[in-house]
Amino acid sequence: MVAKIFVITYSTYGHINKVAESIVKGLEKTGAEAHRFQVAETLSDEVLAKMHAPPKADIPVITPDQLPEADGYLFGIPTRYGTAPAQFKAFLDSTGGLWSKQALAGKPAGFFFSTGSQHGGQESTVLTTLPFLAHHGMLYVPLGYPHPNLFTNEEVVGGSAWGSGTVANSDGTRMPSQKELELAEFHGEKFAAIATKLSQIVANDKV
Ligand SMILES: Cc1cc2nc3c(=O)[nH]c(=O)nc-3n(C[C@H](O)[C@H](O)[C@H](O)COP(=O)(O)O)c2cc1C
């Protein structure tokens, strides 16, 4: 059985979208089905223009009713003040109907992230989003330390035990590095392996 994984992102400047491409590569390497979505923008065009945000990538906008179709989720979120952006929170807050039916319970989820600075809150972004998973009864799948790029100190490498990631610079000039993209691809592969096993257990239970 092939697992269907939704990669759901928010990105203002494109860094998360770039990491998501490697995540998808890793997912697909395992034979999993990867589907990309973005959450809806909540800022006005006027504010986005003042933030020098480029036009949105051509990725379908997710609606909460689509979530139960997936066997697992990788959420890509750029840090805002050490936590998730309001756009992402607005999407999570729209899942009350699913929560009331516990429609996402038992499904695995992981995170990848982007910060402006090296110590700008990659871990705290995930940590402060975990209550969403807990209330839905979803299973957080961390990355752990299975990849050598997580131990590199010779250069800046985003990502940690909490998931893959990138460091964008405060002006957005740094794009995801080779090591970060390798880690993201590996993250996709590792997550797909776990989501596939879980989805097989769920499928067998239904027989
Ligand atoms: C309102 C605001 C708050 C931010 N807060 C942080 C922060 O707490 N720590 C940090 O390192 N970067 C912070 N950033 C930088 C973003 O995390 C960075 O622009 C983002 O990771 C780039 O990803 P994207 O290109 O996918 O949007 C902030 C950016 C904005 C606009």
Supply the DSSP string of 142-196, one letter for each residue. ---S-SGGGG--SS---EETTEEEEE--TTS-PPPPHHHHHHHHHHHHHHHHHHH
Which amino acids bring their CB within 6 angstroms of ligand 1?
A: 11-16, 78-82, 114-117, 120-121, 168, 172
Q: State in Å: Cα 8 to ligand 1 middle.
A: 17
In order along its 207 residues, the chain shows pLDDT tens digits of: 789 999 999 999 999 999 999 999 999 999 999 999 999 999 999 999 999 999 999 999 999 999 999 999 999 999 999 999 999 999 999 999 999 999 999 999 999 999 999 999 999 999 999 999 999 999 999 999 999 999 999 999 999 999 999 999 999 999 999 999 999 999 999 999 999 999 888 888 765
C-alpha atoms less than 13 angstroms from C-alpha of 37 in its C-beta half-sphere: 20
Q: What is the pLDDT of residue 7?
A: 98
Q: What is the pLDDT of residue 207?
A: 56
Q: What is the pLDDT of residue 82?
A: 98
Domain 4-206 superfamily per CATH: Flavodoxin domain (3.40.50.360)
Q: What is the pLDDT of residue 201?
A: 87
Q: At what angle do helices 15-29 and 178-206 cross, to 10 degrees?
A: 50
Q: What is the pLDDT of residue 15?
A: 98
Q: What is the pLDDT of residue 130?
A: 98
Tell the burial category of 76 from Cβ atoms under 10 Å away from its Cβ (0-12, 13-18, 19+): buried
Q: Exposure pattern of 40-57 as b/e (b: 16+ CB <10 Å)? A: ebeeeeeeeeeeebeeee
Domain limits of the chain? 4-206
Pocket-testing residue among 22, 89, 115, 118, ligand 1, by greatest number of atoms within 8 A of Cβ: 115
